[in-house]
Amino acid sequence: MIWFIVRRFLGLILTLWAVFTVSFLLMHAVPGGPYSSERNLPKEIEANFKEKYELNKPIYVQYWHKLRDILHGDLGPAQRLLDFNVNQVIAQGLPVSACLGILALTFAISLGLSAGIVSALYRGSPADIVLMSLATVGIALPSFVIAGLSIMLFVFMIPIFPAAGWGTLRQLALPAICLGSVYAAEIARITRTGMLDALSQDFVRTARAKGLSQVAVALRHALPTALLPVVSFLGPAVAGILTGSVVVERIFAIPGLGWHFVQAALQRDLAVSMGLVLLYTLLLYLMNFLVDLSYGILDPRVELK
Amino acid sequence: MTARTWFLALVLVAGLAAVTWAVRRGQLSPADFTFGNESEVASVDPALTTGIPEARIVYALFEGLCRPRADNNLPEPGVAEKWEISEDGRIYTFHLRKDALWSNGEPVTAHDFYYSLRRLLDPLTFSRYSYQAWYIVNAKKYTLGGGELSPGDLVEVELPLAAGATNTMRGPLLRGKLVRSELSEEEKKDEDTAGGNRVYVVAIDGKERKFQAASKDDPLKSGCERARQVLLDFHEVGIRVVDDRTLEMRLANRTPYFLDLTAFHALSPVNQKCLEKYGAPAWTQPENIVTNGAFRLVTRRLRDRIRLERSENYWDREHVRLNIVDALSIDDRTTALNLYMTGMIDWVTVPPAEVVRVFMKEQPKRNDFNPAPQLTTYYFLLNTTRPPLDDKRVRQALSLATDREEITRVATGAGEVPALSLVPSSMPHYQIQPCAPFNPEAAKKLLAEAGYPGGQGFPKLEILYNTDQQHQAIAELLRKQWQRNLGITASLRSEEWGSFQDSQQQLKYLVARRAWVGDYVDPNTYLDMFVSGGENNCTGFANPQYDKLIADAAKEPNKVKRIEILQSAERLLMDEMPIIPIYYYVSRNVVRPRVRGFYNNLQDLHPLNAIWIDPNVDKQAAVPNEFMEPVP
C-alpha cells in the first residue's frame, strides 16, 4: 500500500513535468503574445515588455526560469489580468467552480444512480425505456442547448430561477442542473449496465436464495460491484467538473475557472494558461489515484501493490 | 446503518455545508445601479488600461485635471477648477481646486500629476496610452528612451532598484550629459535585445561613465555599470510644478484637443505613496487602493463584479446620487440581456446583434433603446506591400466593388451608416473626404487597367477576421460582392484574437478587418494612424506626402487651416486606399427608463457620477429619460 502511494507520487511529479514541458513548448509556438493588442506599443517599449516577462530570452532560459518559479509554488503574475497573480486567480475561481461542481455532482450522482438502479431492476419495462431514452438524450444534447432550454423554461416562462450570476443557492440551481445532467445521464447508463451484470452473478443468486428482500439484494449485494465502473467514470469527471465548465459558466456568468481557461488561451496569458493546465493535471491525477484507492475498498478482489 | 453509510452521509452533509458557506460569502446587498460591463477588466490602473470596460471603471475611480461632461463628453473642470492657455496655445497653467482630495483624505496636488504623468511616460510602465501625453514638449523622446537620444542630450540614468524596494519605485537617479551611445550594427538587428546591449557614455560631474541597461542576469560589457534604463532627463519634459496647486504644461504644438486629453482616463493621477508602499499589482486591491474620483473601489471579484461606493471625499459629492454601483463582468451578450429582461441589471452596453434587429422593428417603439452615432469606424485593411494589393488601382477597384449598403442592411442592423471615409461622418467641425461610392462598372474598368480584365489572372485573396459571427457575415458578403462585381475569388480566414493581432502587425495577411474607436473627438485620432511606420498602421502604407500633411497639421496654429490640412490628408488616404471603410458604428445601449442622467453621445461614454435613479418612473407623470431624446 505504502509502495503504491510512493510510486503514484513519483508518477505525479513526472506527469506534471511532462505536461509542463509540452504546454510550455506549445504556448511558445503559437503566434502572438501577452503584448498583442489593438493599441500597439512602440517597438522599443515592446522590447522592454518582452524583457519584463523574459520573452526575449532564449527559450531554454525561459523554460528553466519558469520551472524554477513553479517549483517554488509561484505561478507568476497574470499577463492579461494585470491586477492579479495566477495564484489569486485560482484562489478566487476554484472555490466557485468547486461549489458548482459539488452541487452538479450531487445532482448527477443521486439522479443517475437511482435511474440506473430502477432501470436495471425493471429491465424492459416502460420505466426502463423512458429513463434510458432520457439518458441518451441527456448525453446527446450539448450543455448549451440544455442551458438555453432551461433558461427559457425556468427563467422566462415559469420564473422561479434567476437568469444568471453568483451569490445565492437559487442562482446555482439551474447551472448545477445543466452541468450535472450530462453526467447524470452517463452515470445512469453505466449503473444500469453494472447492475445488470452484477444481478446475473452467482453471489447475487445466493443472496436471493437466502431469502433476502429484493431491495436488500440490490442495494447491499449487487450495488457495490455495480458501482466500480461508475467510480472509474467519476474520477476524471470530478477533476473536469471542479476546474469548471466553459459553457455553463459563460451562459450563467459564474465566476469560476472554466472561462479563465479559454480566455487565457485566447488572450495569450501564458502564465494563467500554464497555472490552469497544471492545476487540471494535478486534480485529474489525484482523482484517478482516489479511484484506485476506492477500488480496494469496494472490491475485495483488488489488492493495491 | 454501517460505518460506511455514516461516513458517506457525513461527506455529503459536509460538502453541502461547504457549498452553502461559500455561496453565502458571495452574497452582497443590492446596488442602486447595476450594469453589465462586458469582459473582466484587465486592470484598474489608469496607465495600463486600453479597453472600454476598463475606462468605465477608471472614470468612476479617478479624475483628471478635467473630466468629461456626461451629456456631450466635452471637458469640464475636474481636479483643476480653472486654467489659462497662453496666446500661442502652447502653455497650459492649471489651478487645482483646494477641496480635491484622495480617498485617504489627503489633498490632490500638482506633485501628484507630475508623478503620474512621468509614470505614464516611463517606458517601464508599458502604458499603451503614453502617446496621449506626447503632445507635451519632449514627452515622446522621454518615452522612447535609448534609441532616440543623441549626444549632448541631458539624460537621467536610473540605477537598479535597491534591495527590498517595491517594483513601483524607481532606482537612484544620476543626471548628466550623454556623450555618445554605442551599439554595433550586428546588435541593432535584434530589436528585442538591442536596448539591453546599447552602451551609454554619460558625463556626470565632469567624469565619463559607461552604463548599460541590461537586466540583472545578463552579463555586462567591460567597463560598464548596470543601469535600469537611460532616459532623457525628465526636467527637459514640459511639465512643471509651480506650487502645490499650480501645474504648468508646455506643448510642442498648439493642440486644440489637449483639454479633452486632460480628461482622458489614462492621464488620471495615481497616488505615489500608495503605489510605492504596496507595489504593483497589490496597490490596486480594494483594501490598498487610493483613488480621487467620485467613487471608491469596495469589492473586486474576478469575473463576477466590481462594487463601487460613493466617495465621501470627492469634491463634487453633492452631485453624485448613486451610493452603490455594481459593474458585473458578463462575457456573454445574451446573458447580459437575460439579466436585464429579468430586472437584475439596469444597463446593457451591447445586446446581441440578432436582438437589435428585433428591437428596431418593435411597435410601439421601445422606451429603453435608442441607437445613436458613435465615433467608431469599421474598415478593412489592405496589405499594400504584397501584390496585387500594392497596385493602387486594384485597391480602388476593390473599394468600388464593395456595396456597403448591402452590408449594413444584411449583416449589422442597428441603423449603422455606410462609410466612405475613415473619419466618421459624425465628427464635429470636420468635413469627411469620401472615397468613390459603389460602382461595379468603374471597378471592372480599373481592374482591367491593372492587368486583370474580368478578374482573369487575379490571385486569390484572403480575408482575415477575428472569430466572431458578425465579422464572419461581413467578410462573407464582401467575398460575394467581389466575386459578383469583379469576378475574383477570395477565401475567408478566421483567427482568434491573439493570432489575429499578430498577423496584422506582422503584415501576415492580404485583407483584414479592423475597427477604430476615436481616442478623442478630433479627426487626428484616425488620420495619424497611417503615417509611415505608425504602430497602428498595419498596412505597410508609407507616403511621404501624407506624413508631411499630418506633421503640418500638428504644427498649424490656425484652427481652420489645420482642419483643411487634415482634410487633404484624408483625401489622399481615400485616393490611395490602404483601407476600405465599411460603416460607422452606432451605440446600442439598452437603458432602463428609471435611469436618469444617461445621455447618448459620440464617444459612448457615460460617467457614473451623473447617473441617478428616478423614483417616479412608474407613475403617470414620469418624463422620458434623457437617453430617449431624439438623436440629431
Burial pattern B434-450, b for ≥16 Cβ within 10 A else e, equals ebeebbbeebbebbbeb
Query: Which has the closest alpha carbon to B142: A237, A284, A44?
Result: A44
Helix axes A86-121, A223-242, angle to 10 degrees: 150
CA atoms of A46 and A48, how far apart (whole Å): 5
Q: How confident is the model at residue B267 (pLDDT cuts 50, 70, 90)?
A: very high
Mean predicted lDDT score pLDDT of chain B? 90
Contact B281 A83 (CB under 8 A): yes
Of A56, A164, A260, the CB nearest to B193: A56
- pLDDT tens for B589-600 read 999 999 999 999
Helix and strand numbers (H, E) in chain B are: 18, 26
Pairing label, strands B173-182, B199-204 = antiparallel
- How much is the CA Rg of chain A, to the nearest whole Å? 24
Residues in A closer than 8 angstroms to B538, CB to CB, are 40
One-character DSSP codes across B594-620 = TEES----TT----GGG-EE-TTTTST
What's the grid cell of residue B279?
A: 507595489
Cβ contact A42–B192 (<8 Å): no
User: How far is residue B615's CA from residue B610's CA, in Å, rounded to a whole number?
Assistant: 16
A13 to chain B nearest CA, in Å?
29
The dihedral of CA B174, B178, B184, B188: what is its sign?
positive
User: What confidence score (pLDDT) does residue B82 get?
Assistant: 95
| Confidence (pLDDT) at A124 | 87
- The region of weakest confidence among A20-24, A32-36, A61-65 is A32-36
Strands ordered across the beta sheet of B91-96: B80-85, B91-96, B246-250, B239-243
**B114-165 confidence digits (pLDDT tens):** 999 999 999 998 888 898 999 999 999 999 887 788 899 999 999 998 888 8
Residue B330 has its nearest CB partner, among A38, A56, A253, at A253
Q: Which residue of B has its CA nearest to A90?
A: B302
CA atoms of B242 and A178, how far apart (whole Å):
63
User: Which of A37, A45, A255 has its CB closest to that of B303?
Assistant: A255
Query: Cell numbers at residue B598, please?
Result: 444617461
* 8 A C-beta contact, residue B198 and residue B182: yes
SS3 (DSSP) at B240: strand
Q: Closest-CA residue in chain A for B534?
A: A42
Is residue A242 within 8 Å of residue A98, measured between CB atoms?
Answer: yes
Least confident of A11-15, A91-95, A294-298, B26-30: A294-298
What does the block give as the cell for B234?
525628465
- Contact between A164 and B338 using a beta-carbon 8 Å cutoff: yes
- Inter-chain touch B499–A32, beta carbons under 8 Å: yes
Whether A40 sits inside 8 A of B535 (CB atoms) is yes
pLDDT bracket for residue B381 (50, 70, 90): very high
The percent of residues above 90 in pLDDT, for chain B, comes to 65
Cβ contacts (< 8 Å) between A151 and chain B: which residues?
338
A99: chain B residues, CB-CB within 8 Å: 18-19, 22-23
Residue B459: cis peptide before it, omega within 30 degrees of 0: no
B498/A36 touch (CB, cutoff 8 Å), yes or no: yes
Packed helices B3-25 and A86-121: angle between N→C axes, nearest 10 degrees: 140
Cβ-nearest to B501 among A36, A80, A169: A36
> Where would I find the H helices in B26-82?
52-61
Partner-chain contact A155 B20, CB within 8 Å: no
Interchain contact, A255 vs B145, CB within 8 Å: no
Render pLDDT for B347-379 as a digit per residue (tens, 0 to 9).
Answer: 999 898 889 989 999 988 888 999 999 999 999
For cell 432550454, name the residue: A149
Name the burial class of residue B546, with classes exposed (0-12), middle (13-18) and buried (19+) by CB atoms within 10 angstroms of its CB.
buried
Supply angle C-alpha A76, A39, B558, rounded to 5.
Answer: 145
Residue where the block lists cell 475567408: B492
Determine, for residues A44 and B123 on separate chains, whether the beta-carbon distance falls below 8 Å: yes
Do B328 and B26 contact (CB within 8 A), yes or no? no
Q: Which of A33, A156, A266 faces B496 most closely, judged by CB atoms?
A: A266
Nearest to B191 among A38, A47, A255 (CB): A47
- Using CB atoms, which residue from B12, B50, B341 is nearest to A37? B50
- Cβ-defined contact of A39 to B536 (cutoff 8 Å): yes
Q: Name the minimum distance, in Å, from the CA of A265 to any CA of chain B.
A: 9
Instruction: Evaluate whether B61 touches B297 at the Cβ level (below 8 Å).
Output: yes
| DSSP code of residue B540 | -
Lowest mean pLDDT among A29-38, B30-39, B447-456, B593-602: A29-38
Residues of B within 8 A of A84 (CB-CB) are 281, 302
CA-atom Rg of chain B in angstroms: 27
Output the pTM of the full model. 0.90
Average pLDDT rounded to a whole number, residues B514-532:
91
**Amino acid (1-letter code) at residue B431:** Q
For B145, which residue in chain A has the nearest alpha carbon? A44
Mean pLDDT of B278-299: 94
Is B502's CB within 8 Å of A31's CB?
A: yes
- Establish how many alpha carbons lie within 13 A of residue B566's alpha carbon, considering only the half-sphere containing its beta carbon: 26
- Kindly determine whether residue A44 and residue B338, on different chains, have CB atoms separated by under 8 Å: no
Identity of the residue in A83, A172, A259 whose CB atom sits nearest the CB atom of B284: A83
pLDDT at B621: 52
Mean pLDDT of A272-293: 89
Find all residues with CB under 8 Å of A220, minimum gap 6, and list them: A207, A212
Q: How far, in Å, CA of B549 to CA of B570, rounded? A: 10
Q: Does the pLDDT at position A305 exceed 70?
A: no
Residue B605: its pLDDT value, please? 92
Amino acid letter at B603? Q
B/e letters for B231-244, b = 16+ CB within 10 Å, e = fewer, are: bbbbebbbbebeee
Query: Cβ A167–B27 below 8 Å, yes or no?
Result: yes
Question: CA nearest A253 in B: which residue?
Answer: B330
| DSSP bridge partners of B584 | B377, B417
Least confident residue range of A61-75, B176-190, B275-289: B176-190
Locate B263 and state its grid cell. Answer: 480628461
d(CA A141, nearest CA chain B) in Å: 20
Q: Which residues of B touch A96 (CB under 8 A)?
A: 22, 26, 304
* Residue B469 burial (C-beta neighbours within 10 Å; 0-12, 13-18, 19+): exposed
Which helix (H) or strand (E) is A57 found in, with range? Answer: none
Interface confidence, given as ipTM, is: 0.89
State the pLDDT at residue B622.
61
One DSSP character per residue, A229-261 reads: HHHHHHHHHHHHHHT--HHHHHHTT--SSHHHH
- Mean pLDDT of the region A85-89: 91
| % pLDDT > 70, chain B | 98
Helix (H) / strand (E) containing A170: helix A169-199
Q: Do B126 and A45 touch (CB under 8 A)?
A: yes
Are B158 and B171 in contact by the 8 Å Cβ rule? The answer is yes
| B446 pLDDT higher than 70 | yes
Sign of CA dihedral B530, B532, B533, B538: positive
A&B contacts, CB < 8 Å: 186
Q: How far is A88 from chain B (nearest CA, A)?
A: 9
Torsion of CA A42, A43, A49, A54, to 10 degrees: 170
pLDDT mean over A68-88:
88
Q: Cβ contact (<8 Å) for A169 and B302?
A: no
**CA neighbours closer than 13 Å in the CB half-sphere of residue B110:** 16
- Asked if the Cβ–Cβ distance from B192 to A56 is below 8 Å, we say yes
C-alpha cell at A16: 506534471
At residue A293, the pLDDT reads: 83
Q: Does the bond joining B578 to the residue before it have cis omega, within 30 degrees of 0?
A: no
Cα–Cα distance measured from residue B37 to residue B55, given in angstroms and rounded to the nearest whole number: 10
Closest in B45, B191, B501 to A32, CB measured: B501
Dihedral sign, CA of B20, B22, B28, B34? negative
Q: How far is A67 from chain B (nearest CA, A)?
A: 17
Residue B56 clears pLDDT 70, i.e. is over it: yes
Q: What is the Cα–Cα distance from B348 to A164, expressed in whole angstroms?
A: 14
A168 CB neighbours in chain B (<8 A) are: 23, 27
Counting Cβ atoms within 10 Å, is residue A184 exposed (0-12), middle (13-18) or buried (19+)? Answer: buried
Confidence of residue A193 (pLDDT cuts 50, 70, 90): very high
Cα–Cα distance, B454 to B263 (Å, whole number): 53
Structure confidence at residue A275 (pLDDT):
92
The minimal CB distance from B23 to the residues A92, A172, A267 is found for: A172
- In this prediction, residue B1 carries a pLDDT of 52
Residue among A44, A103, A267 minimizing CB distance to B146 = A44
Which of A26, A46, A48 to mutate: most B Cβ within 10 Å?
A48
CB atoms B342 and A163 under 8 Å: yes
What pLDDT is stored for residue B162 in this prediction? Answer: 86
Residues in chain A: 305
Closest CB from A45, A156, A168 relative to B23? A168
pLDDT at B349: 93
Give the span between the Cα atoms of B520 and A247, in whole angstroms.
Answer: 37
What's the average model confidence in pLDDT over B491-505?
A: 83
A99–B22 CB contact, under 8 Å: yes
Give the residue among B492, B103, B149 at the shortest CA–CA distance from B288: B103
Q: How far apart are CA B570 and CA B523, in angstroms?
A: 9
More confident call, A54 vs B417: B417
Residues on chain B touching A253 (C-beta within 8 angstroms): 304, 328-332, 335, 339
Question: What is the pairing mode between strands B305-310 and B295-301?
Answer: antiparallel
Which pLDDT tens digit goes with each residue over B289-314?
A: 999 999 999 999 998 999 999 999 99
**Chain-chain contact of A44 with B147 (C-beta, under 8 angstroms):** yes
Q: Specify whether the backbone of A38 is left (phi greater than 0), alpha (psi in -120 to 50) or beta.
A: alpha
**Chain B residues closer than 8 Å to A250 by CB:** 331-332, 335
pLDDT, residue A102, reads 87
Residues of A in contact with B301 (CB under 8 A): 92, 255
The Cα–Cα gap between B423 and B377 comes to: 7
The count of residues in chain B is: 632
Please name the member of A30, A48, A169 whose beta carbon is closest to the beta carbon of B20. Answer: A169
Q: Check: CB of residue A194 under 8 Å from CB of residue A227.
A: yes
CB–CB contact B19 A102 (8 Å)? yes
- A82/B48 touch (CB, cutoff 8 Å), yes or no: yes
Measured in angstroms, the CA of A124 and the nearest CA of chain B are apart by 31
Compute CA A42 distance to the chain's CA centroid, rounded to the nearest angstrom.
Answer: 42
